[in-house]
Structure 1
Amino acid sequence: MRRAIVMGGSFAGLLAARVLADHASEVVVLEPDGANGSSHGAPHRHQLHALLSMGHAQLDRWLPGLTEDLLAGGARLGVGAEVSYYVDGVLKPCVPSNTMLGATRLFLEEHVRRRVLAVPNISLVRAQARDLIFDGAKVCGIRFTSACDTMTSDKLAELDGDLVVDAMGRSSRLGSWLLRNGWDSAPMDRMRVDLGYATAEFHRGNELPGTVIAHASPGPASGYRQHLSEPGALVAVEGNRWSVVMVGYNDYRPGRDPEAFLERMRRCVAPIREVADQCKLDGDIRTFYFRESQRRRFTRLKRFPGGLIVAGDAVASVNPAYGQGLTLATLAASSLSAHLRSGASPREPAWDYFRRLGAVVDAAWNVSATADLAQPHVSGPYPPGYRLIRWASDRVVEASIIDPTVNKEFMAVVNMRKHPRALTRPRLLLRSARVLSRR
């Protein structure tokens, strides 16, 4: 390819650009807020984010040495017992191979952006994409406005390209652009979850020397007013700080009041209680409301233009309580790489790419949807066989609290290293049944 264009310079867009640099002479990233990123494009950037171990592995694949750079800048890498998971206040068995990177999203994105933009054939332009340009059945470029211009039509400029990537997030206008040019927009699945979460940072000392990550969640199918400890997470991040997030559904969403936030922390598991009691709050508490999970089903379209790829939240945005978003972005980049390495022409519709990515997105969606549907206020849609899937998954979760072998398999799915179908294999279900019967 001569030129590839990426619309959006957030996490997913930067990784797509890194992949495209191996296949195009020039890669142009359009980002209205320039090299410093945009809180407008991702208003939840300041919330605590998790980079699951599969996402961590993919990042190091595309940006070798990134972990070392992050650790040198103050990030923390948790291994084995340094990463603790609790269910209803009970500590789960240690998984020695489990890893988790502790860093804020802003810090992580800053390092990713610096590394990606250092690639010689990648450049960033401060501009906002406004529409696609078509040549028959292929996208051949975009129309855009400079970041300093208004949205008046007389200031629209054009940029041609052999491949265009939509990485504009949940608010992407791609669907309306396709309709305007005579194409169908992708059908969308929605699941309303009404999740609220709040993140606060605390000064970190030696109060928890052996902890990098502590995550607490309610037990299987338990309501948020019935579980034994508050759901939340604690992560050691750069700058000698603890980042703490508390979550709640429906009318139980956390707010910005410091005393109320600390009170919720004191109803959580021991590491989070200890930070509430011993550490000083640093700055304001930031809240975010996530109304619904969304998934665009591109593989259900009967036709799609060539020269067009979609990545990141523009494809799927699932409940952030499960920490899948950043890892999905890394897997979208790897799906794009596999598609291009297969010899696929950018002039043809990227069905192979959408099938590859669809398998990953569907797996993440199934994990989050199965858990969300256990909440009393979430009303569907229910997938086929949901009751059986829910019953089996609850039994596996219960057994994972007791048995290290079951927990290892369960955490491999949570960290997106294995497909959720791994939890329905007869051998694992039988072991879970034996564990629970002995209990």
Structure 2
Amino acid sequence: MTESTVSLFEKLVQADPPDDVPVLFDTACVIGGSIAGLLAARVLSDRARRVVVIEPDDISTETGSRPGVPQDQQVHTLLPAGQLWVERWMPGITEEAQDRGASFVPDKGVTAINGVPQAPDGEGRHLLAIGRPLLETLIRNRVTAMDNVSVLRGQATGLQYRDEAVSAVRYVPTDGGDQGDRGAAVLDADFVVDAMGRSSRLSNWLRQSGYDQPRLERVEAPINYATALFERPVKVADLEKVGALALFAPQYPSSGVSVAAAQPIEDEQWIVMLMGYGDSRPGRTIGEFRQACTKLPSVFTTATAGAAIGDVVTYRQAESRRRHFAEVGRFPARLVSVGDAVASFNPIYGQGMSSAALHASCLASYLGGGPDLDTAAREFFRLQQVVVDAAWAVSAGGDAARLDAQNGTEVPDEVREQRWAMEQITAATLFDGEVTRAFNNVSYMLRHPATLADPELLARAVAAAEGAMADLADTTIDR
């Protein structure tokens, strides 16, 4: 990675809404009303007279979980990069979330690796602890309250083209009644955003219309989530520990738990997640869940001590995926993809919502750069590739290393050296706050992963890790 790539990534993180910008479109359409689509709609609201979000689910009321987001009852994290971007483009939303019961909690001592807390990074950052349905509701309310943004309840079924550019979206209304008697409708649009998520049908639409499909890359990441809610009788301000993220390497198993997280969220609740790889499915009942938590840092026992709210909710994902739009040859103009439709990662890294925010930032930068709208949006996909590459290096890189170690796979010397360096940095975060700061900046998507390749940082990490490896072997988890 070049320094220009690092700088570009940070510019996208820090992007502000534009002032007094020209309107480029009469109608812009976003297919999909989840967080990625809503953030894209927010960007387009500055550039279009009308923005229409086509979404099959009923999102007119605050109903909590919805069919289009089957994983929304699991733990979600809006990383600092995403939180900062959303706050800039929707001022006051963090305070509004707190007013609704979400917690803005300090990250000091929140992460433990193999039972050992990371050294504090000295930044004093805070993380927004909030349930995914509430966060999506707050963003949706902000975006749809804009005068030129509306939601059309329907199922998109395809695109129409004119002069090698998208000109309309075909859809079937889903606003009640007998859907079998409803014919397809058409929405004329000057610009279209695919935000249909992990199962986006855009590639099939492109193929059927004679355009090239983006190459689909997959990395096996068989994960099993189990999440449960518990009553929290203690206010966040009175908690001794306000949350935790516990990570375990394969050689340090804890009752099949590879990752665990606990957050104090709205409605005086704890949300607690246990995740296992492969055949490990920890905590499928409340009893099993609590038993597994007794083998984790003490905050997990505290979080699961209250009455359970409902049953354990499970979620399984077999792989991470990315679609390489930047490589596509023949591609229609006035069309882009964002969010999980482009890349869906192992969710344990918490990158999904923040990546969606940075994809929206890419869209703003592209539209603000005076693009030729009658040609494919290659500059947008170039910007987006910077974001996707950064997130993919962290999540898919970690999953690939785990699989290779598990299967005894031989890897090239360059890859082996990169993984060794990351091991040194990870181990050093337990002892050196400066290394923790650099590591967290990348984990929080504030800095590009290439910044961890700095020779001085690596030398510092190696020095700290020499003692760390020996100590880890004798470490027991603080009960």
CA contact (8 A) 2:98 2:104 kept: yes
Q: What's the counterpart of residue 2 of structure 1?
A: 26
Cα 1:437–1:112 change in 2 (3 A) is same
Which residues of 2 match residues 303-318 of structure 1 at below 5 A? 303-318=330-345
Cα 1:387–1:373 change in 2 (3 A) is same
Q: Which of 406-415 and 382-391 deviates more?
A: 382-391
- The alpha carbon displacement at 1:152 in A equals 6.0
Separation in 1 of the partners of 2:320 and 2:178? 32
Q: What's the counterpart of residue 213 of structure 1?
A: 243
CA contact (8 A) 2:28 2:190 kept: yes
Separation in 2 of the partners of 1:132 and 1:332? 22
Q: What's the counterpart of residue 119 of structure 2?
A: 93
Which residues of 2 match residues 396-411 of structure 1 at below 5 A? 396-411=425-440
Q: Which of 419-428 and 229-238 deviates more?
A: 229-238
Separation in 2 of the partners of 1:195 and 1:80? 25
Cα 1:273–1:382 change in 2 (3 A) is farther
Q: What's the counterpart of residue 46 of structure 2?
A: 22
Separation in 1 of the partners of 2:341 and 2:413? 25
What RMSD, in angstroms, separates the aligned Cα atoms of the two structures? 2.2
Instruction: Give the secondary-structure state (helix, strand or coil) at the position aligned to 1:34.
Output: coil
Which residues of 2 match residues 262-281 of structure 1 at below 5 A? 262-276=290-304, 278-281=305-308
Instruction: Give the secondary-structure state (helix, strand or coil) at the position aligned to 1:252.
Output: coil
Instruction: Give the secondary-structure state (helix, strand or coil) at the position aligned to 1:260.
Output: helix
Pick aligned residue for 1:367 from 394, 402, 426:
394
CA contact (8 A) 1:100 1:213 kept: no
One-letter amino acid of the counterpart of residue 216, structure 1: A
- The alpha carbon displacement at 1:350 in A equals 0.8
- The alpha carbon displacement at 1:151 in A equals 6.8
Structure 1, gaps ≥5 residues long: none
Which residues of 2 match residues 344-359 of structure 1 at below 5 A? 344-359=371-386
CA contact (8 A) 1:373 1:382 kept: no
Pick aligned residue for 2:422 from 381, 386, 393:
393
CA contact (8 A) 1:84 1:94 kept: no
One-letter amino acid of the counterpart of residue 245, structure 2: H
Separation in 1 of the partners of 2:331 and 2:156? 20
Pick aligned residue for 1:108 from 135, 146, 153:
135
Cα 1:212–1:383 change in 2 (3 A) is farther
- The alpha carbon displacement at 1:112 in A equals 0.5
Cα 1:334–1:153 change in 2 (3 A) is farther
Q: Which of 369-378 and 354-363 deviates more?
A: 369-378
CA contact (8 A) 2:257 2:274 kept: no
Pick aligned residue for 1:412 from 421, 441, 460:
441
Cα 1:121–1:398 change in 2 (3 A) is same
Q: Which of 181-190 and 427-436 deviates more?
A: 427-436
Pick aligned residue for 2:228 from 185, 194, 200:
200
Q: Which of 95-104 and 134-143 deviates more?
A: 95-104
Cα 1:305–1:382 change in 2 (3 A) is farther
- The alpha carbon displacement at 1:63 in A equals 0.7
Which residues of 2 match residues 156-167 of structure 1 at below 5 A? 156-167=184-195
One-letter amino acid of the counterpart of residue 10, structure 1: S
Instruction: Give the secondary-structure state (helix, strand or coil) at the position aligned to 1:126.
Output: strand
Q: What's the counterpart of residue 369 of structure 2?
A: 342
Cα 1:228–1:128 change in 2 (3 A) is closer
Pick aligned residue for 2:286 from 258, 266, 269:
258
Separation in 2 of the partners of 1:407 and 1:297? 32
One-letter amino acid of the counterpart of residue 117, structure 1: T
CA contact (8 A) 2:102 2:129 kept: yes
Separation in 2 of the partners of 1:381 and 1:235? 39
CA contact (8 A) 2:424 2:462 kept: yes
Pick aligned residue for 2:212 from 184, 187, 200:
184
Instruction: Give the secondary-structure state (helix, strand or coil) at the position aligned to 2:157.
Output: strand
Cα 1:351–1:151 change in 2 (3 A) is farther
CA contact (8 A) 2:116 2:430 kept: yes
One-letter amino acid of the counterpart of residue 173, structure 2: S
Q: Per-residue displacement from partner, 1:28-80 (whole Å, max 9, x unpaired)?
A: 00011132487322210111101111010011011111001001111000124
Separation in 1 of the partners of 2:394 and 2:134? 28
Cα 1:347–1:223 change in 2 (3 A) is farther
Separation in 1 of the partners of 2:290 and 2:445? 32
Q: What's the counterpart of residue 236 of structure 1?
A: 264
Q: Per-residue displacement from partner, 1:174-229 (whole Å, max 9, x unpaired)?
A: 0110011110110010011110111101111238614333100014xx34637997
Separation in 2 of the partners of 1:285 and 1:205? 20
CA contact (8 A) 2:283 2:292 kept: no
Moved over 3 A (4+): 148-154, 223-230, 376-384
Separation in 2 of the partners of 1:224 and 1:291? 23
Separation in 2 of the partners of 1:334 and 1:178? 25
Cα 1:31–1:349 change in 2 (3 A) is same
Q: What's the counterpart of residue 84 of structure 1?
A: 110
Structure 2, gaps ≥5 residues long: 1-24, 469-479
Q: Which of 264-273 and 287-296 deviates more?
A: 264-273
TM-score of the superposed pair, with normalisation by structure 2: 0.86
- The alpha carbon displacement at 1:244 in A equals 0.2
CA contact (8 A) 1:138 1:348 kept: yes
- The alpha carbon displacement at 1:231 in A equals 2.4
**Sequence identity (%):** 37
Mapped pair 1:64 → 2:94: no
One-letter amino acid of the counterpart of residue 417, structure 1: L
Cα 1:357–1:212 change in 2 (3 A) is farther
One-letter amino acid of the counterpart of residue 375, structure 1: R
One-letter amino acid of the counterpart of residue 234, structure 1: A
Q: Which of 225-234 and 358-367 deviates more?
A: 225-234
CA contact (8 A) 2:256 2:281 kept: no
Cα 1:236–1:152 change in 2 (3 A) is same
Cα 1:382–1:180 change in 2 (3 A) is farther
- The alpha carbon displacement at 1:254 in A equals 2.6
Q: What's the counterpart of residue 460 of structure 2?
A: 431
Pick aligned residue for 1:124 from 142, 151, 166:
151
